[in-house]
Amino acid sequence: MEEFGSGIQQAVLAGGSASGRLAEDVRWGLSQPRKQLHSQYLYDSLGSRLFEAICALPEYRVTQAEQKLLDRYSNLIVSDLEGPVTLVELGPGSGEKLAQLIEPLLRNNIGVNVELVDISEAALDLATRTLTRFPSVPVFCHEAVYLDGLQRSIKRRHDAGSLLVAFLGSSLGNFAPSSAHTFLSNIQTVLRAGDRFLLGLDLVKPEQELTLAYDDPLGVTAAFNRNILVRLNRELAADFDLEWFGHRVIWNFASSSIEMYLESLCEQKVSIPGADCQIRFKEGEYIWTESSYKYTTSQIVSAGMESGFATRGQWVDEEVKFAVTAFEVL
C-alpha cells in the first residue's frame, strides 16, 4: 500500500500490477485468426492522457452529454442516499463526473468516502488530484481490473450508510453484449440489497456521427489507438513501425457497435521479445483493438433488470443520444 497524499491511498493487487498479464495476452491475441489486443491495454500513462484529450473533442460528445445530465440530475440521483455514502467508481478517468456526484452530498452535510478502481495508474492519479478539491473526502485507489477492484472496495465499505457504484463514460459499451450481461450480474452479486449502480451509456445514433466521433479530423483517436503499439514497443521491446499501421473505424450495423482496428499497411513481420513471439502481418490485415456497443434506452433497462437490478430512473440527452440510468439491487 502506498501513500499518495492526504487521505489518498493506493492498493496494488497482490500478484503484481493489473497489467502483469500484458505479455501473455498479447501473445494470445496476436496469434488468433482475428488478431486482437485487449482494449484495456489502450490505457497506459499516455493512453489515459490521450483519452482525456478525446473527451475534449467536439466530435466525441459522450463526455459533454454525460456531464450535462449529471449537472442537471446528480442532486436527484443521490437525494435519498443515507450517510455515510461510499462512492465506488469503476474506471474513473479524470474523476470529474464523480466530483459532480460528491458535490450535492457534501452540500447536504452527508459524509462521503471514495473508492477508485482503474487499471491505469495515470487515471487514478488524475482522478485523485481532481478529488483533492474535497479535503474532507477520503479517497482510496485500487489499481485493478473492474471486478477485482470492486470486490476490494466493498470489503472496505461502512456497515451503515449507502453504497453507490458508478460506471460512466459508456465503458460498459466496450463489452460484447453477452459479456456485458455477465459483468452486470457479477456486479449485482457482490452488492447488497439497496445498493445503487449508476450506468452511463452511449445510444445508437446516425453512422456518420459515430464514425466521426472515433475518427476525428485532428487524429487524436488515431493516436490513442496507435499508442497501444508504442506501449508494446516500450514494455515488450517489440519493433512495430508506426508508419505501417493505420487507424480504421467501422460501424457494424448488425451488432450496433463501432469497431476500432489497426490495419497493417504492408506485408511485415514484427518481433515481440517480451512476449516471446514473432508475428507476420499480411497487407490489409487488421488488429481489433476496441468495440463500442451502442444501446437503446430500453435495452439498458432490460439489461439491468435481467441482472437483478430495479430501475430507479433514466435521464436521456435526446440531442446527443446518451443515457444515464440509476439502478438499485433488489
Among 30, 78, 119, 260, the residue binding ligand SAM under the rule CB under 6 A is: 119
**51 vs 281 by CB, closer to ligand SAM:** 51
| Other beta carbons less than 10 A from residue 63's beta carbon | 23
Q: Which stretch binds ligand SAM (CB under 6 A): 68-76, 114-122, 299-307, 312-320?
A: 114-122
Q: What is the largest CA-CA distance in the chain?
A: 62
User: Are 197 and 163 a contacting pair, CB within 8 Å?
Assistant: no
Segment (H or E) for 159: none
Among 93, 210, 291, 295, the residue binding ligand SAM under the rule CB under 6 A is: 93
Please give the angle made by the CA atoms of 98, 64 and 94, to the nearest 5 degrees: 35
Count residues contacting ligand SAM (CB under 6 A)? 20
Tell which positions 166-225 bind ligand SAM, by CB under 6 A: 168-169, 171
Joined grid coordinates for residue 157: 465499505
Asked if 118 touches ligand SAM (CB under 6 A), the answer is yes
Binding mask 42-81 for ligand SAM (x = CB under 6 A): -x----x--x---x-------x------------------
- Strand boundaries in 144-222, DSSP class E: 162-167, 196-202
Residue 211 backbone dihedrals phi, psi, to 5 degrees: -70, -35
Task: Give CA–CA dist 168/202, Å, rounded.
Answer: 10
Nearest distance, CB of residue 74 and ligand SAM, angstroms? 14
Joined grid coordinates for residue 92: 474513473
Task: Give CA–CA dist 122/260, Å, rounded.
Answer: 23
Q: Which stretch binds ligand SAM (CB under 6 A): 112-120, 231-239, 256-264, 307-315?
A: 112-120
Asked if 287 touches ligand SAM (CB under 6 A), the answer is no
Q: Which stretch binds ligand SAM (CB under 6 A): 76-84, 89-97, 225-233, 252-260?
A: 89-97
**60 vs 281 by CB, closer to ligand SAM:** 60
Query: Which residues, including other chains, have CB under 8 Å from residue 28's CB and lie 6 or more apart?
Result: none
User: Are 8 and 126 a contacting pair, CB within 8 Å?
Assistant: no
Nearest distance, CB of residue 160 and ligand SAM, angstroms? 28
Q: Which residues bind ligand SAM (CB under 6 A)?
A: 40, 43, 48, 51, 55, 63, 91-93, 97, 117-120, 123, 145-146, 168-169, 171
